[in-house]
Amino acid sequence: MSRVFLRHHWTSPSERAGVRVVRGALESAGLRWVDTVHAASVVLAKLPAQGVWAGVTGRGPRPVDLGRFLTPYDIESRVFPHFMAVMAPSQLSLYGVPIGVFRSNCVWVHAGLAQRLGARPESIVEWIDWLDRASALVPHPLGLGREPWQVCLLFEALVLGLCGVDFHRQAFGMGVAEALSAPCMRQALVVLGSLRRFVADDCVNHSWHVLARDVQAGRCAAVVMGDWLRNEFDGDPPKSESTAAKWLMPGTENCYLYNVDYLTPIVVPGQTLDRGGLAMVARALLDADVQGQFGRAKGALPAVRDATGLPVDIEGWRLLHLSSLNPDLLVPSMTFEQATPRGMRDAIAMAVKRFFFHRAGLADTLEAIARAGSLAH
């Protein structure tokens, strides 16, 4: 019997639920789940898109091409093209199984506080005014936590809302020097700095999933975080939706800033490829029912067109299907290494963290972000 080990860092309630779906799918397919890499004949690693690409180009763990175990229909027609991680026009390849598509440009708000504050903000300027008025109802209306990616995502959402999709692609997808040092990048940093007054001084003690309870209880009015927060709220869905609601960052309503999980079989030096096990893994994880179950467990959308069951985000599901007609609807997240190499992402995230939490200078931060572009290639 083939034995599978999954290398991941999923620890929150919804993440553990996702692991249970994956384990159940693999065991139902006839595979054995093991807890150590040494006991496995197939090793899966949870990687971002750029992590998969780095492995294909020899700069990380080498992924196995699952295309040889799948039909052309599976690759060409079922998987959304944006979520292939590595596009290989000369052959039908799949180097990582996409499972779980998250919208990252979300603002989760306390429904009761939002109702008291009136109309939903339609611009970044209106959102800052909304937070100003929320300060009269709760001392620190903007929830933020300790992980560096949180403030990086906040900055990225501001860049997208203020500067637009084309600018975002040039700066974070292509590392264009002129975009990384443009006045609009400076504007986004200035706005980011203006949000400090809305954040608690002890926010660095908070993990990301704790913020779900904070916004649900009204300890903060808003949290900028993706769909993965959806299933971290306490209580059944009707209860949680009565105290927390999802908005989109103003200015980003017509695009889907995405983050995708890839479960990627990797080559282990000295180990013979378990081709039978790899074929079973590929088919099990791309199964329409499994994709739907995983999405509902983690608050994500499936990465295949024919997934079964009602998706958690009907509007987002519509945008995924429309993206074949308008590719600009889907924007890969810099924060989560969807089109931005890790070195560049890390350099930007560190610069933004120092600026926000340690009050590094604006000019120094802009220079650090501009230098990060050299790591895009």
Amino acid at 188: A
- Contacts of 282 by beta carbon, 8 Å cutoff, 6+ apart: 66, 69, 70, 94, 97
The CA distance from 320 to 301, in Å, is 9
More confident residue, 98 or 240: 98
Please state, rounded to an integer, the average pLDDT across all residues of the chain. 92
Please report which confidence band the pLDDT of residue 237 belongs to, taking 50, 70 and 90 as the band edges.
very low
Q: What is the domain partition of the chain in residue ranges?
A: 3-101+257-325, 103-256+341-376
Per CATH, is 103-256+341-376 categorized as 3.20.20.70? no
For the stretch 189-211, pLDDT in tens is 999 999 999 999 877 677 888 88
Q: What is the mean pLDDT of residues 20-38?
A: 96
For tokens 């999980």, what's the residue? 261
Dihedral over alpha carbons 284, 287, 292, 294 (to 10 degrees): 10
pLDDT in tens, 62-74: 999 999 899 888 8
Cα–Cα distance list, 175 to 323, 369, 371 (Å): 23, 10, 10
From first CA to last CA, the distance across the chain in angstroms is: 42
Assign 3-class secondary structure to 251-286.
CCCCCEEEEEEEEEEECCCCCCCCHHHHHHHHHHHC
Cα 112 from chain centre: 27
- 3-101+257-325 classified as CATH 3.40.50.2020: no
Using an 8 Å Cβ cutoff, are 85 and 96 in contact? yes
How many alpha carbons lie under 13 Å from residue 242 in its C-beta half-sphere?
6
pLDDT at position 9 over 60: yes
> What pLDDT was estimated at residue 377?
66
pTM: 0.94
Among the ranges given (87-96, 112-121, 249-258), the one the predictor scored with the smallest mean pLDDT: 87-96
Q: Give the span between the Cα atoms of 26 and 182, in whole angstroms.
A: 48
* Inter-CA distances, 118 with 79, 111, 114, 129, 225, Å: 41, 11, 6, 12, 22
